[in-house]
Amino acid sequence: DGGITQSPKYLFRKEGQNVTLSCEQNLNHDAMYWYRQDPGQGLRLIYYSQIVNDFQKGDIAEGYSVSREKKESFPLTVTSAQKNPTAFYLCASRADKRPINEKLFFGSGTQLSVL
């Protein structure tokens, strides 16, 4: 998994509950990303962060929140406002060497389901 650890592997959410997905990387990467993947679909960007204490919304940020207090950590909270949270969530990171592009390294994912 390229030094990116996601936990837990499986997570269940009750109605009206907020849940937090963990993502830690030891690659010393500046940029971190959260993607959502629905069955048979591609990856959609939720949030990303290029530097500590800063982050930007992706294409589907509504109902989610993030923080970036440390370089190695980028937790994602799925709030009760997200009405359809069941999906596979992927965290990724990459070295930020813009304008040179670099590949993303992915974690092993968290499967979130609604009880």
- Answer yes or no whether residue 95 interacts with another protein by CB under 8 A: no
In angstroms, what is the minimal distance from the CB of 57 to another protein?
Answer: 11
Distances in whole angstroms, Cα of residue 71 to Cα of each of 2, 35, 39, 108: 16, 18, 31, 19
Distance CA 106, CA 1 (A): 6
Q: Which is nearer to another protein, 14 or 103 (CB)?
A: 103
Cα–Cα nearest to 114, from 13, 19, 11, 39? 13
Q: Which is nearer to another protein, 8 or 18 (CB)?
A: 8
Q: In the structure encoding, which two tokens stand for residue 84, read together?
A: 């359809």
- Answer yes or no whether residue 90 interacts with another protein by CB under 8 A: yes
* Interface residues toward another protein, by CB under 8 A: 1-2, 4, 6, 31, 33, 41-43, 45, 48, 50, 56, 58, 88, 90, 92, 96, 98-101, 103-109, 111
